[in-house]
Amino acid sequence: MNISSDSPANGARPASRQPETENSKSDPKPDTAILRHIKKLSRIGVALSVEKDINKLLEMIVDETRDLTNADAGTLYILDRDQQCLTFQIMQNDTMQTRLGGTSGVDIELPHVPLYAENGEPNHSNVSSHVALTGETVNIPDVYEAEGFDFTGPRNYDASTGYRSKSMLVMALQNHENDIIGVLQLLNAQNPETRDVIAFSNEYVDLVASLASQAAVALTNTQLIQDLTDLFYSFIKGIATAIDEKSAYAGGHINRVVFIAMMIAEKINDSKEGHFKEFSFSKDEMEELMMAAWMHDVGKITTPEYVVDKATKLQTIFDRLELVESRFQVIEASIENNKLQQKVALLKKSPDDGKPALAEIEQAAAERISALGEDFEVIRKANTPGEFMNRESIEQIETIARKTYIRNGKKRPYLTENEVRNLSITKGTLTREERDVIENHAGMTLKILNELTFPRKFSRVPEFAAGHHEKLDGSGYPRQLTEKELALQTRILAVADIFEALTAKDRPYKKPMKLSQAVKILGFMVKDRHIDADIYDLVLQSDILSKYAKTHMDPDQVDDPDTAG
C-alpha cells in the first residue's frame, strides 16, 4: 500500500500552518485503509473475547472474516481429535441464502472430513484436512483449475445448485499453544464495487491470519469455559448418582424436581399477564436455578439410609417387626410349655379326676395365645404408616407394652420403650429425633455447597438449593427464613420439591397420591403461608400439571385437579 507524508489529501498538514522539519519529513502518515482494517480487527477482537456462547462465537468468526474479505461464502470446521476428523460447524452462502449451524437452529447434515484414510495415510486430497494436518494456508484463485486437491464436493454442489465455486482461501485456526483446533474456509472473494468474483489478495490473507489467530484464542477460551461447566455438571450429576445409589428413589426425586422447577421457570419467562408478566430469568439465572435443583439434596449424602428410606415405624437397618414377631413366637411357645407343665403336674396329683381341670388349662392357654395374636395384629397395623394414628390406637400399644413374659427367669415387657415410641408415631414413620436427622440434610446442603467455589454468576446456588424446605411464615428449615428473605428461585424449588414428594410413586413408606389430592394439600400450604401463592396459581393455570403427570405419574393417579376445590 502507498504511504505518503506530504499530500493534504492523505492527512498531512499544509506547510503554511506547520513548518516542515526533518522529523516531519521522515514521519509518514498511515494509509486510511490500513487504519480502517486495524480498527476493524480491534473491534472484532474485543467482540470475540467477550462472547461466551460458543455457537454465537463460531458464527461470528465466519461472519467477520467474510465481511473482512468480501467473501460470498464460508465454512468453519472444528477438529475432533478423538475421531480424527473435521466436523462441520458453520456453513454460510449469501448467493444461495444459506445459513447452517451456529444459532440458525439448522443442523449441517454432511459427513465429517477424515484426517486419515482407512489405511492410516494422511488425507491430503481434501484441502480442509490438508490444512488441518499441515497448518499451511491455501489460497486458490480458481478451484476448477487447481491441482493437487479433490474438489469433487464443490463441483457436485455447483452442478446441483447452479452455483459457481471459484476462489478459495483455507486457513488453520491455531490456539496459543500452536495446536490446530479448526479450519476456516472462505469462498468466492468479491470486488466490493462490481461484485465480480476475484482471487483473495495477499493483503486479505494477512488480515484473515491475524483474525484467525484472535478467533482461535477466543474459541479456546470459550471451549475451556464450556469444558469447566461440563465438568461441573458432571460432578453435580455424579453426586446425584451417589445419592441414587444410597436410596432407591432419591436420584429419581432429584431428576423430577429439576424437571418441575425448570418448567415453572420457563412458564414465568413466558408469562404475558398476571403476577410474573414483567419478570424474566436470564440464561445464566436459568442455569443457576437448574444447578441448585440438581444440588438441593446433596446433604442427604450424610443422612443414614434407614432414615431416608424408613418404610415402617420399626424399621432401622431392617424392619424390627420381625424381632417383635419372633418375641411373640417365644411368648407363645412359653404359654404352650407352661400349659404342658401344668397338665403334667395335675396328672401326677390326680390322675383319675383331672379331666375338667385339664380342659380349663387348655382353655386358658388358648385364650392367652389368641390374645397374643390380637396384640401382634395391633402392632402390625400400627407399624404400617397410615393417614393418622389416633389416641385410642396409641393407648392399645401402651397397654400391650405393659404386659410381660418370663425369659431365662427374668420378667420382660412385650415391647421395649424404643418400640413403643416408634409405634406411637402419629403420622408417617419418623420419630422426632429421626426427623431432625432428615431435616439436617438441608443444613448440610448449605454447608457442603458453601465449600465449593462457584463462578460469580452461580454464586447463589447454595442459598437456593439449601432453602427448599424454608416456608414463607419463617417456620421452615434450616435457617427459618421469612417471606422477605426468600428469593423466587428458592420458592420455586420449594413447590417443586413438595409436589414431587406428594405425587411420587416410588416411595417405600407411602402410596402414590392422586393429582387432585396433591393440589388440595398444596392449597392448604398456600393458606398456611408455607409456599408461594403466585407460583401455586401459575402451576394450576398452566399445562405444568398435565405435562408432569404424563411423564412421571401412573394413569390411575391422574384425575381432575379442579375437583380439589
DSSP string, 77-103: EEEETTTTEEEEEEEEETTTTEEEEGG
pLDDT tens-digit map of 488-497: 999 999 999 9
Residue 351: how many CB atoms within 10 A of its CB? 8
The amino acid present at 228, given as its one-letter code, is L
Q: Provide the terminal-to-terminal Cα distance of the chain, rounded to the nearest Å.
A: 81
Residue 202: how many CB atoms within 10 A of its CB? 9
The whole-number pLDDT of residue 199 equals 94
- Assigned C-alpha cell, 46: 474485543
- Assigned C-alpha cell, 201: 489478495
CB neighbour burial string for 525-557, b if at least 16 within 10 angstroms, e if fewer: bbeeebbbeebbebbeebebbeebbeebbeeeb
DSSP letter, residue 543? S
8 Å CB contact between 219 and 61 = yes
pTM above 0.75, yes or no: no
Out of 3.40.50.300, 3.30.413.10, 3.30.450.40, 3.40.50.620, the CATH code matching 32-225 is 3.30.450.40
Q: Please report, for the chain, the start and end positions of each structural domain, with discontinuous segments joined by +.
A: 1-28, 32-225, 247-304+433-564, 321-429
8 Å CB contact between 234 and 67 = no
8 Å CB contact between 220 and 186 = no
Helical (H) or strand (E) element with 59: helix 54-69
8 Å CB contact between 167 and 151 = no
pLDDT tens-digit map of 172-230: 988 877 888 889 999 999 998 899 999 998 877 877 777 777 777 777 777 777 787 78
Residue 50: how many CB atoms within 10 A of its CB? 9
8 Å CB contact between 437 and 307 = yes
User: How many Cα atoms sit within 13 Å of 368 on the Cβ side?
Assistant: 20
The whole-number pLDDT of residue 94 equals 95
8 Å CB contact between 509 and 385 = yes
The whole-number pLDDT of residue 414 equals 94
Low-confidence ranges of the chain (pLDDT < 70): 1-52, 244-251, 308, 351-356, 387, 508-509, 561-565
Q: Maximum Cα–Cα distance for the chain, whole Å?
A: 155
Rounded Cα distance between 111 and 249, Å, is 42
Backbone dihedral angles phi then psi of residue 511, each to the nearest 5 degrees: -80, 150
- Assigned C-alpha cell, 68: 473482512
Q: Which residues make Cβ contacts (< 8 Å) with residue 275, sequence separation at least 6?
A: 534, 537, 538
8 Å CB contact between 376 and 342 = no
The whole-number pLDDT of residue 100 equals 94
The CATH homologous superfamily of the domain defined by 247-304+433-564: Hypothetical protein af1432 (1.10.3210.10)
Helical (H) or strand (E) element with 170: strand 168-174
Q: Is 399 helix (H, G, I), strand (E, B) or coil?
A: helix
Can you tell me which residue has the cell 444440588?
295
The whole-number pLDDT of residue 225 equals 75
User: Nearest Cα to 150, choosing from 99, 178, 114?
Assistant: 114
The whole-number pLDDT of residue 186 equals 95
The whole-number pLDDT of residue 250 equals 57
The whole-number pLDDT of residue 453 equals 85
Rounded Cα distance between 190 and 212, Å, is 20
Can you tell me which residue has the cell 487504519?
35
Dihedral sign from CA coordinates of 236, 238, 241, 242: negative
Q: Is 162 helix (H, G, I), strand (E, B) or coil?
A: coil
